[in-house]
Structure 1
Amino acid sequence: MTAPAGAAALAAAYDAVTAVVLPLTDDDLLRPTRCRGWVIADVVHHLLQDARRALVTFASPAPGPSDVDHVSYWSAYPGSGDAAASQHNAWLTRRAASAYDRPSAIVAVWASTAPAAARAAAAADATSFVATQGHVLSVPDFVATLVTEAVVHHLDLTVDLPSAPEPPASALAVAVSTMDGLLSDEVVRPVGWSSKEFLLKASGREALTPRDRVALGEAAGWFPLLS
């Protein structure tokens, strides 16, 4: 993925999230999501924190080389696979989101912050490295992690919004490439899985069916590929 393509995918992913949540009422923003214990407003706040982190990261150049790429970042992520840490972080997000006067206030901040993060991605030097979450990544790899996060959470927040648009194709392709990397080159995902189905199953949002397990063989035990 070229740096301009990655930045464009991030802008598209963030714009798509905004298009989903900006028209929602405060009551709508309290609808459930695929994230245990989180309503839509909580997911938006989580993405807001990601966009804020992006602004800091793009302004935090680091000497290379990178120690993770856009795939290995997910297995090296702090607390990865730690259920207690995951629950604690989920609770912190709920508490932080509840500090706003109303759910739509979170959306308003997101709507101004997300485009700034996308512009920072487009302006970043594609040959440089940045530091985040205790790791060093190339700028294109860091952008890809942001896209993957945005796409998966887009799917999370639309579970109770049946008419909401899907993530854009360019962003879906980045997220799918991440999951393919986590699955390894030696395993082919089951024929017939759509990009959305693959992302939901790879991220643990949907369970594997018996047929999936037969098709995946030993690799079924690797799921979810990230959570």
Structure 2
Amino acid sequence: MEDLGDVLAQAWLETLDLVGSLDPTGLRTATDLPGWTVLDLSFHLMLDAQRALVVLADPGPGPADTDRVTYWSGQQPGLPGADDHAAYVRRAAAAYASPTGLLRHWDDTVQGALAAVRHADPADHVATQGHVLAVPDFVHTLVVEAAVHRLDLAARLPQAPSPPPVPLRCVREVLDGLLGHPVPVEWDDATYARKGTGRTALDAGERALLGADAARFPLFG
């Protein structure tokens, strides 16, 4: 649990540093999520930290009905409500008087959420997104979300540093778990994350290597 908290802190704080280093033009740059700018996606990531604060404040005994891998099997592109959420995020991000206000709110929320993670009992369970997870598995889902969106944020920012490697290894763990075996294509972790979540399409050679599993991509989105 302590290690997962450190990985989450690395994922969140590195992304905060990246966004905080951008000028107004950079903050308006498009991301790999259609219709969302860097600021829009920053607000969405703040909502994850806010969700962590809320659910960790009210843990329960369980039992869990999903884990760090199976949780993602229901997260597919185009789910009902996705368009409404995207529209809400854009409106809410635009409602801040300045980007500085949004980033300060995000930073404060992240700091509070990380403190909640540090003090959480790994034997507890939390309810979120219609599921119940053990606390360590819930924290793992936050790491995966942060890692994938870090790639989304930096997709059109050539000056962005390479993402931290450990969160991306957590994404690989989930993708291989959903696939049922290690992927038979020699992708690095970032490429696998993009391919496995549908950010980047499979080419003919990759489909041949994947065989019947190619039809299951994206594994989550």
Kindly provide the amino acid, as one letter, of the partner of residue 105 in structure 1: G
Kindly provide the amino acid, as one letter, of the partner of residue 194 in structure 2: L
Q: Which residue of 1 aligns with 2:134?
A: 138
Kindly provide the amino acid, as one letter, of the partner of residue 164 in structure 1: A
Q: Which residue of 2 aligns with 1:165?
A: 161
How far the C-alpha of 1:69 sits from its partner, in A, is: 0.5
| TM-score normalised to structure 1 length | 0.92
Seen in structure 2, the aligned counterparts of structure 1 residues 173 and 211 have a Cα distance that, compared at 3 Å, is: same
Distance in 2 between residues matched to 1:58 and 1:211, nearest whole Å: 44
Q: Which residue of 2 aligns with 1:15?
A: 13
Residue pairs, 1:46-65, within 5 angstroms: 46-65=44-63
Q: Which residue of 2 aligns with 1:95?
A: 91
Q: Which residue of 2 aligns with 1:73?
A: 71
1:149 correspondence with 2:145: yes
Asked if structure 2 preserves the Cα contact closer than 8 Å seen for 1:128 and 1:139, the reply is yes
Asked if structure 2 preserves the Cα contact closer than 8 Å seen for 1:29 and 1:104, the reply is no
Kindly provide the amino acid, as one letter, of the partner of residue 163 in structure 1: Q
- Poorly superposed stretches of 4+, deviation over 4 Å: none
Q: Which residue of 1 aligns with 2:196?
A: 202
Deviations 1:12-62 (A, max 9, x none): 101110111011122211001000100000010000001000000111212
Q: What SS does structure 1 have at the residue aligned with 2:133?
A: strand
Q: Which residue of 1 aligns with 2:30?
A: 32
How far the C-alpha of 1:174 sits from its partner, in A, is: 1.4
1:122 correspondence with 2:102: no
User: Mean Cα displacement is larger for which, 47-56 or 126-135?
Assistant: 126-135
Distance in 2 between residues matched to 1:130 and 1:84, nearest whole Å: 23
Q: What SS does structure 2 have at the residue aligned with 1:27?
A: helix
Among 31, 39, 42, the residue aligned to 1:41? 39
| TM-score normalised to structure 2 length | 0.95
Q: What SS does structure 1 have at the residue aligned with 2:126?
A: strand
How far the C-alpha of 1:197 sits from its partner, in A, is: 0.1
Superposition CA RMSD, Å = 1.4
Asked if structure 2 preserves the Cα contact closer than 8 Å seen for 1:155 and 1:167, the reply is yes
How far the C-alpha of 1:112 sits from its partner, in A, is: 1.9
Asked if structure 1 preserves the Cα contact closer than 8 Å seen for 2:185 and 2:210, the reply is no
Kindly provide the amino acid, as one letter, of the partner of residue 172 in structure 2: V
How far the C-alpha of 1:83 sits from its partner, in A, is: 4.5
Asked if structure 1 preserves the Cα contact closer than 8 Å seen for 2:185 and 2:206, the reply is no
Kindly provide the amino acid, as one letter, of the partner of residue 177 in structure 1: E
